[in-house]
Chains A and B, each alone.
Chain A
Amino acid sequence: MSLKIVVLAKQVPDTRNVGKDAMTAEGTVNRAALPAIFNPEDLNALEQALRIKEQHPGSTVGILTMGPPRAGEIIRQGLYRGADTGWLLTDRKFAGADTLATSYALAQAVKKIGDVDIILGGRQAIDGDTAQVGPQVAQKLGLNQVTYAEEVLKIEDGKATIRRHIDGGVETVEAPLPVLITVNGSAAPARPCNVKLVMKYKYATCPMERTGEEPWKELFDERPYLTLNQWSVADVDGDEVQCGLSGSPTKVKSVQNIVFQAKESKTLTGTDEDIDGLMKELLDEKIIG
C-alpha cells in the first residue's frame, strides 16, 4: 500500500535554553536573538513519517509549513533527511494567526494537496506550547485524530495501529485512515541529515527566498526540484477573513516579561558547621520536622 504522508512542521525560536546572550540588560528575553530551529517534536513526527515510508514502498512524505519566507529552511531540513517534497504557506495575510486561524490555513493547504492518507505533526511547538493546532486541523478536515503518539506500530488494511501515552500509562489504539497523528518528544528521535541529500537539495528554495543574484541560479531551471512549492492564501482558496488576526478568536491583551526577582537570601557553604547550623535553624523554626 503506498501512502501519501504530510508532515506539519513549524520553524520556531529556540526557547529551550535561553542563554545569557539572549537576555537583555533588564533581564528579559530578546526574542530576535534566539536561533530559528525545526520544532523538536515535529522532527519526531518526521521520523515516524519516514519510517512509514520505508515500510510502504512507493509512499511519499511532504513537509507542510506556514511561516515567513525563511521557513523554507524547514522544508530543506526535511528533504535532507529523506522527505520527497514540501510546501511553504506564506502570505502576510496569515500574520497574527492564533491556533484556530493557523489550523484553518493548514487545513486548506491539505485539501489542496489532496488525497492525503496520514498527517503527522509534533504534539506541540516550543513557542506557543499549546498542542492545539494538530487536533484543530483534524477537526477541520473531519479526520480521526490520535494524539500523544509514541510510535506508529503498523499501517494495515487501511488502519493505523498506534502506541500512545495516556495519563498514568500507555494505550494501543487502532484508527482508520485517513488519520492525523501528533507525536511526543519522547518518541524516536529524527535521523540525521543524509550527506547526499544535503548536496542535492542545498540550493532548494522558494521563489520568495531568492534574491535573483545567486551564483547557482542557472540550476533552478535545470533542476525543477530546487524550486519549492510556495502558496499564498489565494493559492489554497483561503477565505482571508478566516486567516491571520481577523480569523483569531483569541487576542493577546498583554504580555509580561519574566524577570527574576532577586530575593534576600542567606548564603552558606557545604561545611559541617554551616549545614549543622542550617538543620538546627529549620527544626527550631518548625520549617521541617
Chain B
Amino acid sequence: MNNVFVYCEIEGTTVVEVAQELLTKGRKLANDLGVELHAIAVGAGIKGKVEEQILPYGVDKLFVFDDEKLFPYTSAPHTDILVSLFKEEQPQVCLMGATVIGRDLGPRVSSSLTSGLTADCTQLEIGSYDDKKAGKHYDKLLYQIRPAFGGNIVATIVNPDHRPQMATVRSGVMQKALYEGKAKGEVVYPEVAKYVNELSYVVKVLDRHVEAAKHNLKGAPIVVAGGYGVGSKEGFDLLFQLAKELHGEVGASRAAVDAGWVDHDRQIGQTGVTVHPKVYIALGISGQIQHIAGMQDSGIIISVNNDPDAPINQIADYVIHGTVEEVVPKMIKYYKQHSK
C-alpha cells in the first residue's frame, strides 16, 4: 500500500529507456517517502526477458502481465490492468514515460481513478503544501514541476487529495542509474484475465512499422544543432560534416524540422529530444524558449548567428557573429589542423 509505482513501457521484449530513467527517480522518491518502489510490465512474451532490465534499478516488487493480446499496445487493456491493480495496491505515486503510449495511457487511467495527472514533468520532488483557502497543510506531496504556456512559465503542480499522484516525464530528462543499495526484487505474474475485460481487446492493429533509432542524439556528448539560419537541406550537409569530425550528433530546432531540412527525430526542444551534451554548438538557431528547454543543461554552448540579438546568445558561452556557411567550414578546417 502507498508505494511508488512505475509503468515500464516495453517494445517487443525491450524495456524502453525512459522507464529505466523513471525507475531511478522512483527509487529516490520512494526512499524520500519511506516506501517501496514497485514496477509494472505489460506485454507479450516478456516473461523471463524483462525482469533483468527492471529489477537492477532498485525495484522491490515487479508485476508482470504477459499475454499475446497485450502487444502491440492498445489503450483499453493496459488501462484495465493499471486501474484494477491500482484499486488493489493503492499507490501514492505513479510515474510513466511521456511517450506516445504514456500520453495515451496516463490520462485514461487518471480519469478512471479520478486522480490528478501532470504531463511532461521536468522535475519531481517531495515537499509540503498549504491550501490556504481550505486551511489545510499537507506533508510529503509530490511536486510535479513542468513548463507550460509554450514553455514561457514553469509551474509546480500538486495533487493534495487524490491518489495516485500521477506524472509523465519525457525521455532524457532524468538520468538512469543502477541502484547501489538493496531492494527486495520480488516478481509476481498475475493472471491477466482477472485484470482485463475481454471486451477491451477491441481496437485492432492492422499494420505496424518501427525503425531502430538511426542515431543516439539523446546521449551524444557533442551536439551540432542547426536552425532556420542554416537555410536549406544542403546546408545541413555541412553540419553533418562538422559533427563527424567532432564525433558528435546532429540536432535541429523545430523551424528546421518543419522546413523539411532534417528528420523529426533530430528535433531538440520541448516537443523533441532533451539533450545534456558537454558541448552544444547552435548554428543559425534563434533560441525560442521551447528549444532552450531541450538543451539548457549543456556544458559549453557556442552560438553562431548573424543576429546579435538572438535569444540563444544570452545563454551561450561563446557567441560568434557570422553566417553558418562562413563559419562551419572554418571550424572544420581549424579543428583538423589543431587536432593533429
A residues contacting B by CB (< 8 A) are 13, 15-18, 28-29, 31, 98-100, 103, 126-136, 138-140, 144-148, 161, 165-176, 186, 248-258, 260-263, 265-270, 272, 274-276, 278-280, 282-283, 287-289
Are B205 and A255 neighbours in the complex by a CB distance under 8 Å? Answer: no
Select from chain B the residue with minimum beta-carbon distance to A251: B158
Interface centre among A17, A139, A172, by most chain B C-beta atoms within 10 angstroms, is A139
B residues contacting A by CB (< 8 A) are 11, 16, 72, 74-76, 79, 99-101, 103-104, 106-108, 110-112, 114-120, 129, 131, 143-144, 147-162, 202-213, 222, 246, 264, 270, 278-279, 288-289, 299-300, 302, 304, 311, 313-323, 326-327, 330-331, 334-335, 337-339
Are B159 and A255 neighbours in the complex by a CB distance under 8 Å? Answer: no
A135-B108 contact, Cβ under 8 Å, with A144-B202, A169-B208, A283-B335? yes
Select from chain B the residue with minimum beta-carbon distance to A171: B208
Are B204 and A261 neighbours in the complex by a CB distance under 8 Å? Answer: no
A251-B159 contact, Cβ under 8 Å, with A280-B338, A287-B300? yes
A253-B129 contact, Cβ under 8 Å, with A18-B152, A168-B213, A169-B210? yes
Question: Which residues of A are found within 8 Å of B155, using beta-carbon distances?
Answer: 252, 254-256
Q: A144–B79 Cα gap in the complex (Å)?
A: 11
Select from chain A the residue with minimum beta-carbon distance to B306: A270
Question: Which residues of A are found within 8 Å of B326, using beta-carbon distances?
Answer: 270
Are B222 and A166 neighbours in the complex by a CB distance under 8 Å? Answer: no
Question: Which residues of B are found within 8 Å of A128, using beta-carbon distances?
Answer: 148
**Among A103, A161, A250, contact of B111 (Cβ-Cβ < 8 Å):** A103
A29-B202 contact, Cβ under 8 Å, with A100-B114, A251-B131, A278-B320? no
Q: A256–B264 Cα gap in the complex (Å)?
A: 30
A-B pair count, CB < 8 Å, reads 254
Q: A167–B210 Cα gap in the complex (Å)?
A: 8
Q: A279–B245 Cα gap in the complex (Å)?
A: 12
Q: How far is the CB of A220 from chain B (nearest CB, A)?
A: 36
Are B100 and A275 neighbours in the complex by a CB distance under 8 Å? Answer: no
Question: Which residues of A are found within 8 Å of B327, using beta-carbon distances?
Answer: 270, 275
**Among A99, A172, A251, contact of B207 (Cβ-Cβ < 8 Å):** A172
Are B314 and A262 neighbours in the complex by a CB distance under 8 Å? Answer: yes
Are B334 and A265 neighbours in the complex by a CB distance under 8 Å? Answer: no
A253-B156 contact, Cβ under 8 Å, with A136-B107, A274-B320? yes
Q: List 7 A-B contacts (CB under 8 A).
A: A129-B147, A135-B75, A173-B204, A255-B153, A257-B153, A262-B314, A266-B318
**Among B116, B149, B335, contact of A100 (Cβ-Cβ < 8 Å):** B116
Q: A18–B288 Cα gap in the complex (Å)?
A: 8
Are B316 and A265 neighbours in the complex by a CB distance under 8 Å? Answer: yes
Question: Which residues of B are found within 8 Å of A270, using beta-carbon distances?
Answer: 304, 320-323, 326-327, 330
